[in-house]
A = this chain, B = another copy of it.
Amino acid sequence: MTTRVAVVGGGIIGLAVAWRCVQRGLDVTVFDASDEKATTVAAGMLAPAAEIHAGEEEVQRLLADSAGRWPQFAAELEKATGIEVGYRDEGTLLVALTDDDLREVRRLCGVYERAGQPVHELTARELREREPLLSPRVRGGAYAPQDHQVDPRRVLTALRTALKGRVVTEMVTDLAGVDADVTVVAAGVGTRALTGLPVRPVKGQTVRVTAPQPPLRHIIRGYARNRPVYLVPRRDGELVIGATEEERGFDTSITVGAVLDLLRPAAELLPEVVEYPVSEIAVGLRPGTPDNAPILGALKGDIADSGHGRILVASGHYRNGVLLTPLTADLVAELVTSGVSPQGITPFAPDREALWT
């Protein structure tokens, strides 16, 4: 008999896991009742160099591995659905407005190097040769050729298309009520209420503007008077300006401070941005964890032992949900099928100590 898989959560992680499970011949249903997805707010930067703290080498490995899977994942998804998902590999420019900001960029170059990611310093002139609309006041920066992008909204649309008929609009509030052999919890910030796992919301605000012509080819990861901002250009002229990181519980209001924090440095680095219409201001809640690493693997304990089938978790991806999608989908689909944790997943198990101390 075909294994019946329930995926709780219709964000990019849940849908990608579901798609990989369908490809393996499983009987999959996605339960998706939320219009508020971190995925639809995310800019889709795929930046695999993480700020590594002690003991976080596994996260770095995960990020690099998943980044390497994106080109194939995107191509496969586009082929299956005919929907272009906006994968772009022009790379990212790190851009500094002041001398102070340039010090921050150089520090970040060190992070790239320690992460084994390529990065090349550029002069102000070299930056403006690549991106003529950058402010003449920028002091310098660097080029990170492996920091790519994808359009998360297009990816969601493509995944929904690939899963046609398998996504139901139904809110799951109790895992015991889900009738399946395996349940995958990919509920983002809703994960805590379902599982008790320590996933907390980290609020992020982004502004979308629409330029008449795409003003940039590269992603800009900028610093202007100690304020970080990124500018992610789409081919249709949309420019995503992001993102705040705020610990405000489940509050999803757009605030004056966040709008200023995003638009001010954006206008300093790319002066023409003041002319652009604002098409959207969006707020999302990233699923954060105590050790900033995702939670991947089988749930143990009361809920899992309630006799309603195996329960797996794919959540807590924090700022890296889009980047980690291909790898998460592959690992979790393998775990669903084999029942055995694939190599590399164990450091991210729901019962790891770092989640609970």
- State the A residues within 8 Å of B (CB): 207, 209, 253-257, 259-260, 263-264, 266-267, 273-278, 281
Contacts of A260 in B (CB 8 A): 260, 263-264, 267, 274
Query: Min CB distance, A184 to chain B, in Å?
Result: 35
Residues of B within 8 A of A266 (CB): 256
Contact of A277 with B263 in the complex, beta carbons under 8 Å: no
Q: Which of A259, A267, A275, A281 has the most CB of B within 10 A?
A: A259
B residues in contact with A253, CB < 8 Å: 277-278
For A257, give its contact among B255, B256, B275 (CB under 8 Å). Answer: B275
**B275/A255 in contact, CB under 8 A:** yes
- CB proximity of A22 to chain B, nearest CB, Å: 41
Chain B: minimal CB distance from A130 (Å): 23
Complex alpha-carbon distance, A267 and B264, angstroms? 12
Nearest Cβ in chain B — how far from A246, in angstroms? 11
Within the oligomer, what is the number of copies of this chain? 2
Tell me whether B259 and A278 are in contact (CB under 8 A).
yes
Per the bound structure, the CA–CA distance linking A260 and B273 in Å amounts to 11
- Establish whether residues B255 and A259, one from each chain, have CB atoms under 8 Å apart when the complex forms: no
Contact of A267 among B209, B257, B275 (CB under 8 A): B257
Chain A interface, >50% SS class: helix
User: Which residues on the B side are within 8 Å of A267 (C-beta)?
Assistant: 256-257, 260
Residue of B nearest to A260 (CB): B263
* CB closest residue in chain B, given A254: B278
Contact of A281 among B257, B274, B278 (CB under 8 A): B278
Shortest CB–CB separation between residue A222 and chain B, in angstroms? 15
Measured in the bound complex, the distance between the Cα atoms of B271 and A94 in whole Å is 31
Across the interface, do B259 and A263 meet the contact criterion of CB distance under 8 Å? Answer: yes
Q: How many whole Å from A214's CB to the nearest CB in chain B?
A: 16
For residue A263, which residues in chain B have a CB less than 8 angstroms away from its CB? Answer: 256, 259-260, 263
Task: Check if A278 sits within 8 Å of B256, measured CB to CB.
Answer: yes
Which 5 pairs, one residue from A and one from B, show the smallest C-beta to C-beta distance?
A: A257-B274, A253-B277, A254-B278, A256-B274, A256-B273
Q: How far is the CB of A266 from chain B (nearest CB, A)?
A: 7
Q: With a CB–CB cut-off of 8 A, which chain B residues contact A254?
A: 277-278
Please measure, in the bound complex, the distance between the C-alpha atom of A55 and the C-alpha atom of B253, giving whole angstroms.
49
Inter-subunit contact A277/B259 (CB<8 Å)? no
* Interchain nearest-CB distance for A196 vs B (Å): 31
Bound complex: CA of A20 vs CA of B194, how far in Å?
61
How far apart sit A209 and B253, CA to CA, in the bound complex (Å)? 11
CA gap between A278 and B278 in the complex, in Å: 14
Of all chain B residues, the one with the shortest Cβ separation from A278 is: B254
A-B CB contact pairs (8 Å), 7 listed: A209-B256, A254-B277, A254-B278, A255-B275, A256-B267, A256-B273, A260-B263
Q: How far is the CB of A45 from chain B (nearest CB, A)?
A: 20
Q: When chains A and B are docked, how far (Å) is the Cα of A278 from the Cα of B282?
A: 12
